[in-house]
């Protein structure tokens, strides 16, 4: 993978007071420990500055995020893997549980962890094109953690979520729109950001405390479930990494990605 140039995230505040958080880890914004740490710090910054809303997007022209960095899971140093996993949990808790308004301008592919980040926002606009979005873990021979599943069940009907999760379904933009996995499509990134801003402006006349408490209450179930089971969730992840069959599946998957990239 190409060497990193520049910061892993960019956090800017526009004239309307909306924070734009841009992931910037070329080539595909795969979520390694350092990127997750930077996303976490930016989410803290947005919360601390009492910014009213945030739009999550990517600097890549074709990938929102490729999900978790497979190299964090392949033959890992277990101490780092533990920190990696707890950092991912923290990012999800901060984003899914945030009191400020969140929207994702999905300007490219959003598999697995990329889909999770976007589903953790309150609104999703995806750029039209040959991009796909979904939780594809079972195709890799791995099982999405319960909180990934909860997040999907919070986004689309449970029957559709079960079908999508078990079949590792990657949705096209039109299919995602039809099932409600995304809320709108857009012609390009600028249009996606505009549409996210239009969503954010819907709250101009809604008292912010009432909005925030309502959001937190409706999201309470999945959040409490992870908070109560964090250690077990981490232990399951580490146990999974120690399983030779899983390591073999990951190795084959990495090879297939590399072969595809070399074509
Ligand atoms: C059995 C019971 C167990 C019970 C307990 C379970 C508990 C454990 C839970 C564990 C859960 C773990 C959860 C994981 C969630 C994830 O997020 S896994 C990651 C899944 N992601 C993917 O599958 C995406 C793979 N990537 C792609 O499909 C494509 O790259 C793309 C569509 C995103 C973009 O395509 P394109 O623009 O054509 O780029 P490429 O040429 O494919 O890639 C460029 C470059 O990037 C490397 N790469 C791509 N994705 C990743 C990644 N996710 N991680 C690391 N690296 C990645 C790719 O290999 C290329 O590298 P090189 O240039 O060849 O070096």
The helix-helix angle for 78-96 and 220-242 (nearest 10°) equals 160
Per-residue model confidence (pLDDT) at position 179: 98
pLDDT digits (tens, 9 = 90+) for 27-72: 999 999 999 999 999 999 999 988 899 999 999 999 999 999 999 9
CA 231 – CA 243 distance, rounded (Å): 19
- Tell me: pLDDT of 3 over 80: no
* Cα(19) to centroid(ligand 1), Å: 28
The 8-class DSSP code of residue 186 comes to: E
Alpha-carbon distances, residue 145 vs 118, 211, 226 (angstroms): 16, 28, 10
Per-residue model confidence (pLDDT) at position 152: 98
Q: Which of 138, 140, 183 is nearest to 165 (CA)?
A: 138
Q: How confident is the model at residue 118 (pLDDT cuts 50, 70, 90)?
A: very high
- Residues contacting ligand 1 via CB (< 6 Å): 1, 27-28, 30, 62-63, 66-71, 109, 111-113, 136-137, 142-143, 145, 236-237, 240, 257-258, 260-261
Is the sign of the CA dihedral 149, 154, 158, 161 positive or negative?
A: negative
CA 91 – CA 88 distance, rounded (Å): 5
Helices and strands in the chain, H and E counts? 10, 9
CA 110 – CA 117 distance, rounded (Å): 9
Domain covering 9-262 assigned CATH 3.90.226.10 in the classification: yes
Residue ranges covered by each domain of the chain = 9-262
CA 202 – CA 208 distance, rounded (Å): 12
Given a contact cutoff of 8 angstroms between Cβ atoms, the answer to whether 109 and 97 are in contact is no
Query: What are the residue numbers of the active site?
Result: 68, 113, 136-137
* Cα(70) to centroid(ligand 1), Å: 6
**183 Cα distance to chain centroid:** 16
Neighbours of 41 (CB within 10 A): 15
* Reported pTM: 0.96
CA 103 – CA 55 distance, rounded (Å): 5
- Tell me: pLDDT of 83 over 70: yes
* Cα(126) to centroid(ligand 1), Å: 20
The 8-class DSSP code of residue 61 comes to: S
Kindly report the protein residue whose alpha carbon is nearest to atom 13 of ligand 1: 144
Q: Which of 133, 93, 137 is nearest to 115 (CA)?
A: 133
Q: With pLDDT > 90 as the criterion, what percentage of the chain qualifies?
A: 92
* Cα(13) to centroid(ligand 1), Å: 30
Residue among 137, 138, 261, 263 to mutate when testing ligand 1 (max atoms within 8 A of CB): 261
Residue among 30, 257, 260 to mutate when testing ligand 1 (max atoms within 8 A of CB): 257
């Amino acid at each position: 993978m190409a060497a990193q140039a520049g910061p892993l995230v960019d956090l800017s505040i526009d004239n309307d007071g909306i924070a734009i958080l841009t992931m910037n880890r070329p080539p595909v914004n795969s979520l390694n420990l350092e990127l997750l740490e930077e996303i976490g710090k930016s989410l803290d910054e947005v919360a601390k500055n009492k910014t009213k809303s945030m739009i999550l997007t990517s600097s890549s022209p074709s990938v929102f995020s490729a999900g978790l960095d497979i190299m964090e899971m392949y033959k890992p140093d277990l101490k780092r893997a533990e920190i990696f996993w707890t950092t991912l949990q923290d990012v999800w808790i901060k984003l899914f549980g945030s009191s400020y308004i969140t929207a994702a301008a999905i300007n490219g592919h959003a598999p697995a962890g990329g889909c999770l980040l976007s589903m953790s926002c309150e609104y999703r606009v995806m750029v039209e094109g040959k991009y796909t979005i979904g939780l594809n873990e079972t195709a890799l021979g791995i099982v999405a953690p319960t909180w990934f599943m909860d997040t999907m069940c919070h986004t689309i009907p449970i029957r559709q979520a079960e079908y999508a999760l078990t079949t590792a379904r990657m949705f096209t933009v039109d299919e995602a729109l039809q099932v409600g996995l995304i809320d709108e499509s857009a012609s390009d990134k600028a249009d996606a950001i505009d549409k996210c801003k239009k969503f954010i402006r819907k709250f101009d006349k809604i008292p912010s405390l009432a909005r925030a408490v309502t959001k937190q209450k409706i999201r309470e179930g999945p959040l409490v479930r992870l908070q109560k089971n964090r250690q077990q969730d981490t232990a399951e992840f580490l146990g999974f990494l120690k399983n030779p069959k899983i390591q073999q599946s990951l190795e084959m998957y990495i090879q297939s990605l590399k072969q595809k990239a070399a074509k």
